[in-house]
């Protein structure tokens, strides 16, 4: 039986408690289900996973997902996690990278999917993790959208308006950078910390004028909204965002073959996305319960890396990207301080991609 847990915003308090506890600043192919709260707070099943991995090879893996449009969805559709990892698998769905970090901090998950901004926050908050995989480089898949009747046609028009975005996300980071690049004072805008589903609800009620968010909510907003800027445009100005996977360092140290196998599955999925986009769109559409046409369109809004590109990013560029992200968040008072570059370099590894490529 497959375990898929949907973890909603109810973990907000748990998130604060778990992060504060660790930060200075702020068997066989089967799978099964437990409550999301247990996973976020290191509950029963998570504790069993940790105990199994402590000093021994894990018999269970808890994988946190945001259901982002990348190879993870292919792996879910194909049931590769259950069939090929060789241990019991729990797939836990989260709303944001902030919640992924709290679950990692509490031991509720072993591997988590999150954007580069929450990954930078995890490292800045001294979580004992490694960034070991880049699921995608974000393009138009994250966009600032304004309601058609809001009177907003540029970033400058956001002054005095209400904008929703999930704080500590790549979308939040991109929004703040976009404002700074255009010389718009963020203090003149009411920026609200809303999870994607809450953004859509607030949009429908008329509580917000604009939002910087990702799919599938982005697709809903575009039905009666207009794109103002997006992460592809920002990347051309040097503001790069990506989706990553992080792993608990202890879990990776004790189960390197399991983490390597996880990467093998991502590489296999990326090969489908890059070389058989029709099949990829069909499988992603099935998992997300959207049309194949929508899935095909969303795929074009990311860059999916080959093994060689992964290694190049992880070895040469990505630590600096995370450092730049953290430094910017300091200027925005989102975190008090950012560690030196060598700390980020020590937390980014290509070890598992290299092993998976051999």
Q: Walk along the chain (358 residues) and give the pLDDT tens digit of each residue.
A: 345 555 443 333 333 334 333 332 233 334 443 334 444 544 444 444 544 444 579 999 999 999 999 999 999 999 999 999 999 999 999 999 999 999 999 999 999 999 999 999 999 999 999 999 999 999 999 999 999 999 999 999 999 999 999 998 999 999 999 999 999 999 999 999 999 999 999 999 999 999 999 988 999 999 999 999 999 999 999 899 999 999 999 999 999 999 999 999 999 999 999 999 999 999 999 999 999 999 999 999 999 999 999 999 999 989 999 999 999 889 888 899 999 999 999 999 999 999 999 8
The answer to whether 115 touches 241, Cβ cutoff 8 Å, is: yes
118 and 8, same domain (yes or no): yes
348 and 295, same domain (yes or no): yes
23 and 92, same domain (yes or no): yes
pLDDT tens digits for 117-147? 999 999 999 999 999 999 999 999 999 999 9
| Count of structural domains within the chain | 2
The predicted pLDDT at position 5 comes to 52
47 and 186, same domain (yes or no): no
Chosen domain end from 207, 235, 263: 235
Distances (CA, A) of 306 to 77, 84, 303, 321, 356: 21, 21, 10, 19, 12
31 and 105, same domain (yes or no): yes
Chosen domain end from 235, 256, 286: 235
The predicted pLDDT at position 51 comes to 42
The predicted pLDDT at position 331 comes to 85
Dist. CA 246–CA 116, nearest whole Å: 10
Dist. CA 239–CA 335, nearest whole Å: 19
Residues 6+ apart with CB under 8 A from 181: 234, 237, 239
Dist. CA 71–CA 151, nearest whole Å: 38
The domain of 196 spans 142-235
The predicted pLDDT at position 55 comes to 58
Dist. CA 285–CA 287, nearest whole Å: 6
229 and 249, same domain (yes or no): no
For 304, the 3-state DSSP assignment is coil
Residues 6+ apart with CB under 8 A from 332: 176, 186
Q: If DSSP states are collapsed to H, E and C, what string results for 35-67? A: CHHHHHCCCHHHHHHHHHHCCCCCCEEEEEECC
Rg (CA), the chain: 19
129 and 9, same domain (yes or no): yes
Chosen domain end from 235, 259, 283: 235
The predicted pLDDT at position 32 comes to 40
The predicted pLDDT at position 56 comes to 74
For 349, the 3-state DSSP assignment is coil
Q: Are strands 129-138 and 302-303 parallel, antiparallel or unpaired?
A: antiparallel
258 and 348, same domain (yes or no): yes
Dist. CA 318–CA 295, nearest whole Å: 27
Instruction: Output phi, psi for 190, to 5 deg.
Output: -90, 105
The predicted pLDDT at position 333 comes to 83
284 and 158, same domain (yes or no): no
The answer to whether 313 touches 305, Cβ cutoff 8 Å, is: yes
Dist. CA 32–CA 130, nearest whole Å: 26
Paired tokens of 112: 């988590």
Q: What is the CATH number of the domain that holds 263?
A: 3.40.190.10
The dihedral through the CA atoms of 333, 336, 319, 138 has a sign that is negative
The predicted pLDDT at position 12 comes to 37
Pure H helices in 189-334: 196-205, 217-221, 231-235, 249-254, 256-275, 277-288, 292-299, 307-312, 318-331
310 and 203, same domain (yes or no): no
Find the Cα–Cα–Cα–Cα dihedral 72, 234, 131, 26, rounded to 10°.
Answer: -110
256 and 131, same domain (yes or no): yes
Paired tokens of 18: 């778990």
The predicted pLDDT at position 45 comes to 46
Count CB-CB contacts under 10 A for residue 94: 28
285 and 157, same domain (yes or no): no
The predicted pLDDT at position 309 comes to 95
The predicted pLDDT at position 168 comes to 84
């Amino acid at each position: 039986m497959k375990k898929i847990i949907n973890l909603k915003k109810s973990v907000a308090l748990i998130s604060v408690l778990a992060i504060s506890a660790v930060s200075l600043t702020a068997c066989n192919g089967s799978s099964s289900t437990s409550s999301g709260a247990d996973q976020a707070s290191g509950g029963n099943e998570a504790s069993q996973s940790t105990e199994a991995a402590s000093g021994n090879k894990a018999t269970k893996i808890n994988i946190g997902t945001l259901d982002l449009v990348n190879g993870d969805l292919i792996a879910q559709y194909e049931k590769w996690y259950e069939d090929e990892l060789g241990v019991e698998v729990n797939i836990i769905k989260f709303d944001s990278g902030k919640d992924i970090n709290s679950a990692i901090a509490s031991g509720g998950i072993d591997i988590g999917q999150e954007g580069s901004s929450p990954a930078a926050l995890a490292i800045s908050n001294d979580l004992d993790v490694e960034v070991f995989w880049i699921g995608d480089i974000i393009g138009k898949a994250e966009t600032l959208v304004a309601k058609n009747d809001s009177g907003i046609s540029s970033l400058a028009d956001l002054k005095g308006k209400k904008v929703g975005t999930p704080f500590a996300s790549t979308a939040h980071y991109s929004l703040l950078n976009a404002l700074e690049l255009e010389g718009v004072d963020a203090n003149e805008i009411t920026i609200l910390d809303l999870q994607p589903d809450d953004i859509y609800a607030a949009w429908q009620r008329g509580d917000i004028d604009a939002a910087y968010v990702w799919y599938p909510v982005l697709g809903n907003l575009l039905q009666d909204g207009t794109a103002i800027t997006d992460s592809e445009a920002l990347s051309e100005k040097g503001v790069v965002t990506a989706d990553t996977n992080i792993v608990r360092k202890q879990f990776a140290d004790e189960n390197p073959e399991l983490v390597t196998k996880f990467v093998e599955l991502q590489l296999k999925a990326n090969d489908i996305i890059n070389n058989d986009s029709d099949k990829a769109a069909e499988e992603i559409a099935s998992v997300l319960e959207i049309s194949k046409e929508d899935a095909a369109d969303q795929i074009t809004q990311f860059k999916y890396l080959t093994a060689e590109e992964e290694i190049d990013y992880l070895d040469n560029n990505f630590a600096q990207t995370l450092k730049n992200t953290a430094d910017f968040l300091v200027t925005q008072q989102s975190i008090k301080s950012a560690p030196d570059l060598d700390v980020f370099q020590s937390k980014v590894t290509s070890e598992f991609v290299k092993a998976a490529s051999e």
